[in-house]
């Protein structure tokens, strides 16, 4: 029976689908209006600074020339893309869609754990979670002024259209997906449907004289803006992995020539490199002349001698991460590691210090989870989504991921994590809810 119906990886929140694939907790996470205001301001500040940083680093490089941050750390990033050098992107914006991972410590303060400025995913689950909550517990909404998350796709579409090359009144926008086998495929499908744009694969596009076209039954049609969900190195076989089948040959050149706009921009990885992450407070001060509203988690750069010495002598207390990896790969969690693992990391750090950073173990905030029998304490994080167009817009709420396994700190859905709806209260929302 199950086989006959195909495996449903439902993003569309049908009751069976969402419970199967995306473990969902019924208790919403509530964030008061006041907390959110601080958080929102902090996120906007951060993204503004990061966009300035990207435009500068791929442009005049003032921040490096003035040594406000160490150039050797920035330019040695494996995610730095020389192809973007000197490129003037539309409106000077490189990062249009960001997902910032936040954690809250035991005192209730939010910290930024990670920036995702390349192809952050998960927003469809935010929308799906809300859809389910409204159906399951409509009465609860009546008691709280919960701010809607609905507007996200419209805002995104507006921003994407805004990126069109000059003189195009009605641009053709497409979403470029690696294809049906990608784990986020259903998010791509969902977003494309919501925005009413074509969901295309690399083979649907072709580049001719630095213009991009899609193959349609009415012949070739010019594409002006691409919301891509393919990583930089797979986007164009001419520039990245030559064996890429999901990419489009010539796309990077078309982008450089201004024949097509791409969101997110190429080369954003340099700003979410985990070593550069440690420099972000300085970056914010440099460009905006403001103190960062959202603190970083304390980070040691193994590339710096002093930091490295500290890291090597405290391996059993720290979390060591590889700078260009994400999704929990290539990590050493000190307190939970064996002596052998620590030795292995010690050797790797000494061999290639730039590739590693270390952070103290962050205690994620906890909130009860209803597991069918009763309530348990579980750890959670938060990923709000920040859209940058003419203005910076933070979608009220975000993706709250919960470690459903008792005692676990891992919130990734592949490893027993789940999610819950995130409620941001509008003005008049009680602050007590935040406790």
Partner 1 sequence: MLSRAATSLALLGRHLERADNLARILGVHVALSLDRSDEPGPSFWIRLMELAGWPNGMVERREQAVEFIVTGSAGPSVRASVAAARSAAQAVRPSLPTELYEQVNALHWRMQRDTWQRDLYPSMTDVQLTTRLVDGLLEDTMTHDEAREFVRLGKFVERAANVTTLITRKSAELAEAEDTLEWTAVLKCCFAFESYQSRYSAPVTPERVIEFLLLDTTLPRSARFATAVALSAVSRIDAGGRRSRPRRLLARLDSMFELADPAGVALHPSDFEAQVRALLRQLELALRDTYFHPSKVSGTIFGEGGRTMPQQQQQSVRPHPHRRFTR
CB atoms within 10 A of CB 166: 6
Residue 157 or 252: which CB sits closer to partner 1?
Answer: 252
Residue 66 or 216: which CB sits closer to partner 1?
Answer: 216
CA distance 193 to 211: 25
Residue 168 or 433: which CB sits closer to partner 1?
Answer: 168
DSSP 297-309: PP-EETTSHHHHH
Nearest C-alpha neighbor of 37 from the set 384, 280, 381: 384
Q: Which two tokens stand for residue 298?
A: 């304390």
β-bridge pairing 24-31 and 417-424: parallel
User: Can you say whether the dihedral through the CA atoms of 350, 78, 42, 23 is positive or negative?
Assistant: negative
Shortest spacing between CB 283 and partner 1, in angstroms: 23
Shortest spacing between CB 431 and partner 1, in angstroms: 44
Shortest spacing between CB 238 and partner 1, in angstroms: 7
Query: ∠ at Cα 226 (148, 218), nearest 5°?
Result: 110
Contacts to partner 1 by CB under 8 A: 3-6, 82-83, 85-86, 88, 165-169, 180, 189, 193, 198, 200-201, 203-204, 206, 208-211, 213-217, 219-222, 238-239, 252-253, 256-259
Q: Per residue, what are the HEC states of 188-224?
A: HHHHHHHHCCEEECHHHEEEECCEEEEEECCEEEEEC
CA distance 340 to 73: 29
Residue 139 or 166: which CB sits closer to partner 1?
Answer: 166
Residue 10 or 112: which CB sits closer to partner 1?
Answer: 10
Shortest spacing between CB 253 and partner 1, in angstroms: 6
| Longest distance between any two alpha carbons in the chain, whole Å | 66
Shortest spacing between CB 96 and partner 1, in angstroms: 20
Shortest spacing between CB 12 and partner 1, in angstroms: 10
The label of the residue with tokens 């009680």 reads 430
Shortest spacing between CB 252 and partner 1, in angstroms: 8
Shortest spacing between CB 17 and partner 1, in angstroms: 12
CA distance 270 to 399: 24
Residue 85 or 291: which CB sits closer to partner 1?
Answer: 85
Residue 190 or 300: which CB sits closer to partner 1?
Answer: 190
Residue 215 or 377: which CB sits closer to partner 1?
Answer: 215
CA distance 177 to 83: 22
Shortest spacing between CB 378 and partner 1, in angstroms: 35
172 in Cβ contact with 224 (< 8 Å) = yes
Residue 34 or 82: which CB sits closer to partner 1?
Answer: 82
Of the chain, the end-to-end C-alpha distance in Å amounts to 46
């Amino acid at each position: 029976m199950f086989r006959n119906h195909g495996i449903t990886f439902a993003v569309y929140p049908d009751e069976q689908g969402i419970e199967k694939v995306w473990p969902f907790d019924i208790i919403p996470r509530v964030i008061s209006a006041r907390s959110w205001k601080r958080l929102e301001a902090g996120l906007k500040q951060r993204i503004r600074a990061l966009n300035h940083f990207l435009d500068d680093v791929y442009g005049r490089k003032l921040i490096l020339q003035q040594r406000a941050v160490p150039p050797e750390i920035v330019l040695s990033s494996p995610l730095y893309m020389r192809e973007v050098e000197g490129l003037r992107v539309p409106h000077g914006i490189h990062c249009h869609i960001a997902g910032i991972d936040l954690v809250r410590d035991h005192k209730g303060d939010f910290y930024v754990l990670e920036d995702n400025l390349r192809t952050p995913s998960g927003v469809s689950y935010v929308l799906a979670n809300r859809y389910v909550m409204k159906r399951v517990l409509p009465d609860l909404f009546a008691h709280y002024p919960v701010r809607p998350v609905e507007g996200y796709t419209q805002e995104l579409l507006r921003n994407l259209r805004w990126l069109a090359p000059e003189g195009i009144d009605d641009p053709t926008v497409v979403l470029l997906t690696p294809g049906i086998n990608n784990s986020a495929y259903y998010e791509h499908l969902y977003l494309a449907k919501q925005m009413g744009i074509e969901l295309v694969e690399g083979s649907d596009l072709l580049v001719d004289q630095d213009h991009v076209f899609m193959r349609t039954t009415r012949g070739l049609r010019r594409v002006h803006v691409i919301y891509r969900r393919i990583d930089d190195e797979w986007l164009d076989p001419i520039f990245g992995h030559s064996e890429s089948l999901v990419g489009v040959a010539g796309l990077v050149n078309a982008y450089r020539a201004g024949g097509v706009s791409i969101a997110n921009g190429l080369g954003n990885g340099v700003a979410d490199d985990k070593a550069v992450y440690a420099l972000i407070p300085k970056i914010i001060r440099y460009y905006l002349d403001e103190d960062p509203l959202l603190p970083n988690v304390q980070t040691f750069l193994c590339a710096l001698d002093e930091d490295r010495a500290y890291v090597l002598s405290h391996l059993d207390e720290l979390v060591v991460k590889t700078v260009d990896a994400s999704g929990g790969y290539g990590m050493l969690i000190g307190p939970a590691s064996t002596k052998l693992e620590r030795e292995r990391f010690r050797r790797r750090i000494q061999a290639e210090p730039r590739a590693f950073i270390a952070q103290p173990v962050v205690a994620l905030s906890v909130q009860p989870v209803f597991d069918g029998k009763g309530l348990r304490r579980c750890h959670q994080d938060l990923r709000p989504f920040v859209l940058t167009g003419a203005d910076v817009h933070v979608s009220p709420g975000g993706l709250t991921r919960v470690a459903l396994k008792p005692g676990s700190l891992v919130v990734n859905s592949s490893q027993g994590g789940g999610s819950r709806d995130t409620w941001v209260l509008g003005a008049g929302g009680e602050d007590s809810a935040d406790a």
